[in-house]
Structure 1
Amino acid sequence: MRQLIRPALAVTVLAVPLLLGSASATLDNDAQTILNFGPRVAGSPANEQARAYLEAQFRALGYETRRQDFSYPRFDDLGSDVKLGERVLGGNALQNSTGGTLSGPVVRVPGVGTTEEFARVDVRGKVAVVARGEIPFAQKARNALAAGAAGLVIVNNADGELRGTLGDRVALPVLGVSPTVGAALIDGAAVTLSVRVREGEVKASNVIAYKSGVTAPELLFGAHMDSVQGAPGANDNLSGTLSVLEIARRAANTPLAARAYFLLFDGEEDGLLGSRAFVKDNAPLVGTLKAMFNLDMVGVDVTPLSLTGDSKLVEAARGIAGVQASAGQPGGSDHVPFAQAGIPTLFFHRGLDKNYHQPGDKVLDPALVSETVEVALKVADSVLSATPVR
């Protein structure tokens, strides 16, 4: 999931029955199988392996599947760092910087990298180090380039790693680092700066599952299947992916299957690109929807399960699950393009856990996924009960 813009009001789901036994075992098996593929970055082999596995699960349940292919340009950091002696220090290439590996002495530029500050030191052919803040990253990089620096390191002014974009292309390797790494880069130290990047077209693909003959779905259950570089993506968002699969499993031999589509979106982490592509390319189908349910980060118990979205869907949730409810419209996930197209949406979410977009995102709780499935099915039943069968 992309960084969440959370509204002040939400629906908080209280106690609901859990699925136990074989369902949890199936969820756990699916989770471990997919996590073993590795981070599911859009366009990566692991992403394709996960997609093929999930397609097979849908087909085994009697659903037809099709892919929606799309592509987009992306800048990828392939693993950048700065090496001090034998010590490799982490860092992140800033988007739009040039790739390259170079060695040279560190020059600590006093301040944030203004033209005046660069004029006080000699950075020609060296690795300049500046602090984050006051002026844009791109301006720092242009000032370093004009002063003759061979590379630039920007040190975060808050705890944690520094990620960002220059906005404009600058012909200079630029690395963002944490304050801890920045402190190790003392003036005059010999370092090797490696900014390893790739710019190219990403080939991505949504998975669409449905029962044969269903062309005008009333409900759409969706979740994004991609993760970010370096993050296994158990909670973000294998938890939502498996929720959609489990809903499809539960619905397979019920009337719900004839009134629903199941979507696994690609490219969410790069800007909700899969859901945007689906809404754009499937306008007649989208226009038949009574509701779109989006499940994102529901496998770690950070907060109680929250449902936010359309006021009528919120009322349906409150009525069937004993909830405290208010409507809202959060951003940052795949329901947004549907809401922008005028489709009522409901967003299922449990909050940002400590491993959000980190290598530690390796664990999800099948019981929490099962709980999410129960709630989604109950809301779906309420919505469809109020809508005559065509």
Structure 2
Amino acid sequence: MPTTHRVALLGALLLPVAAGANVETHLAAVLKFGPRVTGSEANAQARTYLEGQFRALGYEVRRETFTYPRFDDLGSGVEVGGRTLAGLALQGSVGQEVTAPVARVSGVGTPEEFAAAGVRGRVAVVDRGTLPFAHKARNALAAGALGLIVVNNQPGEVRGTLGEPVALPVLTVTREVGAGLRSGERATLRVRVREGDVTGVNVVASKSGVTRPDFLFGGHMDSVPGAPGANDNLSGTLAVLDLAGRVAGTPLATRSVFVLFDGEEDGLHGSRAYVKANPEIVRNLRGMFNFDMVGVNVTPLTVSGEAGLVEAVRRSSGAVGRVGDTGGSDHVPFAGAGVPTLFFHRGLDANYHQPGDVLADPALIREAVDAALKTVNALPASRP
């Protein structure tokens, strides 16, 4: 990288405060849309808003769409004693409503334990643990249960899969909900599910004429159902936008592409689709920088990935650098395609995938961007 380019990039670290202040503005604006589940109206609203911000910075924006199969819970739960209690269907469960007495199962759900509890013609309730969900469900079905409720053995909800179709309505509930389900009490189990294809949309921003970028800066825009996703991962999304804003007037902008991935929460679908659809760009990347959950300081900022990039992190910033992959996020498909990657992350906070994920610290987001820009500045001037 020529000296003049390095000076320009260092200047991007010191842009006027107004550029950084936009992080606060964007946080408030996007959070108002609600959980950004892939395929939802909130996701579309957030995408339109963020596209407008990239365009305002002078970037061209395009959308790349992709589809994948998904299992959706349309609002499952259990009604008992006049109370409606929340629950989540396990993927592979049949959608069905049944009303029957509750049968509490002592143990983890072996065939003998279901038989001893007398679950035939009843809604069986068993604790999570030891046996896979599918084994519990098959054992309950074989014992004649009309439905199965799995009670979490840890705090919070359970989102999971049976791993195979089972002809039984299966619901997971929290420990608190499970404590209110007593043997002999009549309950109505409602498992409402839908299986089908969902369309995801990646947002791709770059300067006009950029066809062979050196760097891709990315983060996923989607969140899980019920979670506004401030830290996971509006923090990473806004790190990408903030970085794009800081370098907009520098040579780095013409050597970069900025991508907001969709479908990450359902299995890295957006990043996998991008790698597949853009082989020439991917093949020539010097680095893919992925930002995921950088707005809550659970641990100091950790940057993990390819050895050469991690060494640049260590030389240039105070971030903790670790060689190797330390998280399943959108850098993974790029690493699999041979691209050197860096994963910027601060750990899982207490509101991870919860309705309480409504806060992210703009200063921490900007700190992650600082580390990324310093890392690029510390790299050799040209491709190896």
TM-score (norm 2): 0.92
Aligned to 1:309: 305
Aligned to 2:252: 256
Conservation of the 8 A alpha-carbon contact between 1:18 and 1:374:
no
Aligned to 2:330: 334
Once residues 294 and 64 of structure 1 are traced to their aligned partners in structure 2, the CA distance between those partners, rounded to angstroms, is 21
What letter matches 1:119 in structure 2?
A
Once residues 128 and 286 of structure 1 are traced to their aligned partners in structure 2, the CA distance between those partners, rounded to angstroms, is 50
Q: Secondary structure at the match of 1:119?
A: helix
* Paired residues for 1:205-216 under 5 Å: 205-216=201-212
Aligned to 2:190: 194
Displacement after TM superposition at 1:120 (Å): 3.0
Q: Once the two structures are superposed, what CA deviation does each residue of 1:48-104 show, in whole Å capped at 9, x if it has no partner? A: 111111111111111111111100001111222112223222221111101122222
Residues 1:387 and 2:365 aligned together? no
Q: Once the two structures are superposed, what CA deviation does each residue of 1:97-140 show, in whole Å capped at 9, x if it has no partner? A: 01122222111233333222333344333211122234332222
Q: Once the two structures are superposed, what CA deviation does each residue of 1:215-235 show, in whole Å capped at 9, x if it has no partner? A: 000011000001011100000
Residues 1:179 and 2:159 aligned together? no
Conservation of the 8 A alpha-carbon contact between 2:302 and 2:319:
no
Number of residue equivalences:
372
* Paired residues for 1:318-333 under 5 Å: 318-322=314-318, 325-333=321-329
- Structure 2: segments with no counterpart, 5+ residues: 1-12
Once residues 117 and 317 of structure 1 are traced to their aligned partners in structure 2, the CA distance between those partners, rounded to angstroms, is 55
Q: Which has the higher contact order (CA 8 A, sep 6+)?
A: 1
Aligned to 2:6: none
* RMSD between aligned residues: 1.9
Conservation of the 8 A alpha-carbon contact between 1:105 and 1:189:
yes
Conservation of the 8 A alpha-carbon contact between 2:286 and 2:383:
no
Once residues 335 and 89 of structure 2 are traced to their aligned partners in structure 1, the CA distance between those partners, rounded to angstroms, is 34
Conservation of the 8 A alpha-carbon contact between 2:202 and 2:270:
yes
Residues 1:243 and 2:258 aligned together? no
Aligned to 1:77: 73
Q: Secondary structure at the match of 2:355?
A: coil
Once residues 289 and 121 of structure 1 are traced to their aligned partners in structure 2, the CA distance between those partners, rounded to angstroms, is 59
Compared with structure 1, are the counterparts of its residues 323 and 54 closer, same or farther at alpha carbon in structure 2 (3 Å cutoff)?
Answer: closer
Once residues 204 and 351 of structure 1 are traced to their aligned partners in structure 2, the CA distance between those partners, rounded to angstroms, is 26
What letter matches 1:98 in structure 2?
V
Once residues 180 and 208 of structure 2 are traced to their aligned partners in structure 1, the CA distance between those partners, rounded to angstroms, is 61
Q: Once the two structures are superposed, what CA deviation does each residue of 1:276-326 show, in whole Å capped at 9, x if it has no partner? A: 111112111111111111011111121211111111111212222255644
Once residues 18 and 252 of structure 1 are traced to their aligned partners in structure 2, the CA distance between those partners, rounded to angstroms, is 13
Deviates more, 1:207-216 or 1:304-313: 304-313
Aligned to 1:13: none
What letter matches 1:333 in structure 2?
S
Aligned to 1:14: none
Conservation of the 8 A alpha-carbon contact between 2:300 and 2:319:
no
Aligned to 2:278: 282
Displacement after TM superposition at 1:183 (Å): 2.0
Once residues 324 and 202 of structure 1 are traced to their aligned partners in structure 2, the CA distance between those partners, rounded to angstroms, is 37
Compared with structure 1, are the counterparts of its residues 356 and 324 closer, same or farther at alpha carbon in structure 2 (3 Å cutoff)?
Answer: closer
Compared with structure 1, are the counterparts of its residues 121 and 200 closer, same or farther at alpha carbon in structure 2 (3 Å cutoff)?
Answer: same
Once residues 344 and 245 of structure 1 are traced to their aligned partners in structure 2, the CA distance between those partners, rounded to angstroms, is 21
Conservation of the 8 A alpha-carbon contact between 1:20 and 1:367:
no
> Kindly, what percent of the aligned residue pairs are identical?
63
Aligned to 1:11: none
Once residues 23 and 340 of structure 1 are traced to their aligned partners in structure 2, the CA distance between those partners, rounded to angstroms, is 34
Q: Secondary structure at the match of 2:116?
A: coil
Q: Secondary structure at the match of 1:330?
A: coil
Once residues 188 and 85 of structure 2 are traced to their aligned partners in structure 1, the CA distance between those partners, rounded to angstroms, is 10
Which one of the candidate residues 370, 375, 384 is aligned to 1:374?
A: 370
What letter matches 2:232 in structure 1?
D
Displacement after TM superposition at 1:19 (Å): 7.1
Displacement after TM superposition at 1:142 (Å): 2.1
Aligned to 2:8: none
Aligned to 1:4: none
Once residues 74 and 224 of structure 2 are traced to their aligned partners in structure 1, the CA distance between those partners, rounded to angstroms, is 12
Once residues 20 and 238 of structure 1 are traced to their aligned partners in structure 2, the CA distance between those partners, rounded to angstroms, is 22
What letter matches 2:255 in structure 1?
R
Once residues 45 and 212 of structure 2 are traced to their aligned partners in structure 1, the CA distance between those partners, rounded to angstroms, is 30
TM-score (norm 1): 0.90
Once residues 386 and 199 of structure 1 are traced to their aligned partners in structure 2, the CA distance between those partners, rounded to angstroms, is 50
Aligned to 1:265: 261
Once residues 293 and 114 of structure 2 are traced to their aligned partners in structure 1, the CA distance between those partners, rounded to angstroms, is 45
Q: Secondary structure at the match of 2:258?
A: strand
Once residues 215 and 125 of structure 2 are traced to their aligned partners in structure 1, the CA distance between those partners, rounded to angstroms, is 53
Conservation of the 8 A alpha-carbon contact between 1:41 and 1:227:
yes
Deviates more, 1:246-255 or 1:215-224: 246-255
Aligned to 1:232: 228
Which one of the candidate residues 52, 61, 68 is aligned to 2:57?
A: 61
Residues 1:103 and 2:99 aligned together? yes
